[in-house]
Amino acid sequence: MARYVDGFVIPMPKKNLAAYRRMAKLGARIWMEYGALEYYECVGEDLKVPWGMGFPRLARLKPGETVIFSWIVYKSRAQRDKINAQVMKDPRMNNPQMQKNMPFDMKRMVYGGFNVLVQA
């Protein structure tokens, strides 16, 4: 059962979490309408790790920020490409007001597409 995943790490001002939640709920609805299999938006809670590089350091969090860790699951990369093209054409995603009021700095968002290596 092959899968493909888009993953995101987003530094998020804590004061903007409510606005981000509203935007994420809309995103979830749109991606699922176009065929994504799963959609997750998670906010950092246990970020002080005893080893390795924690998300605060990775995301270069500033005071008053937390991190959003999110992913979208697709059947394949081809399906992801098709769905993302449809999503980007959707007028709900191209609302100038939404883009103007983005609750985070898009330049600091980390994003990538991943082949699933292990699935249980």
- Is position 9 within any domain? no
Q: Which DSSP helix (H) or strand (E) runs through 8?
A: strand 4-13
CATH number, domain containing residue 59: 3.30.70.100
Q: Which pLDDT belongs to residue 20?
A: 96
Asked whether residue 8 is domain-assigned, the answer is no
Determine the pLDDT at residue 17. 98
Residues 6+ apart with CB under 8 A from 37: 3, 73, 74, 75
Q: Looking at per-residue confidence, does 97 or 17 come out higher? A: 17
Q: Crossing angle of helices 77-89/17-33, nearest 10°?
A: 120
**Residue 48 maps to a domain:** yes
> For every residue of 94-115, which 3-state class applies, written as one string?
CCHHHHHCCCCCHHHCEEEEEE
Counted domains in the chain: 1
What does the pLDDT average to over 60-66?
96
pLDDT (0 to 100) of residue 101: 85
Q: For residue 2, what pLDDT is reported?
A: 79
Q: Is 5 inside a domain boundary?
A: no
Report pLDDT digits (tens) over 26-59.
999 999 999 999 999 999 999 988 999 999 999 9
**Structural domain span for residue 62:** 17-112
Note whether residue 1 is domain-resident: no
